[in-house]
Structure 1
Amino acid sequence: VEIMAERIGQSFLAPGPLVGPFPSGAPAIFVGQAAALGQPAGLIGAVGEDDFGQLNIDRLRALGADVSAITSHKGHATGTAFVTYLADASRHFV
């Protein structure tokens, strides 16, 4: 999932407002969009058995993607990216 800084130029070196979580991950975004366009699409992968993993699976399923080959691993966390946008439109990830 992706959690974003609310303000452009916001640093993660100090507390600040965040928005999210948003379903994310480039392969999942691509598969979800292909499925939304009516193309047969699915993803083979794994997520943590947590809310963020379920968020990603639910989004893909809602878009019509085959999620039958995605496993949830108990005791593991789903990958999370914190993103801030800089004034020059570049991004910084943690």
Structure 2
Amino acid sequence: MAFTPKTKEFTSEAGNNYTFQNVPNSKQAEIIDDGTGLHGKVLNSRMMPLMLKHVVVIPNELKMDDFDTWEELEEVTSEAFQFLRTRQ
């Protein structure tokens, strides 16, 4: 079977719109390995940029400092990570 990406539209509590797209399983494994610490704990400084680079596709090329608040950054990247893991 060939990989077919799925997308999800997401609107943050601040009213901003985002589109998420999943990645192939091999890339997902790489993202999880790169974004977690020694005991599997998610490291925000690593995982958030990975979500913005590989999962949040619209708007593209977002950086952590593009967000006005930590709350929205955390909301968007958490929702993107959930989508990456479940494709829902």
TM-score normalised over the length of structure 2: 0.23
TM-score normalised over the length of structure 1: 0.22
Rg (Cα) greater in structure: 1
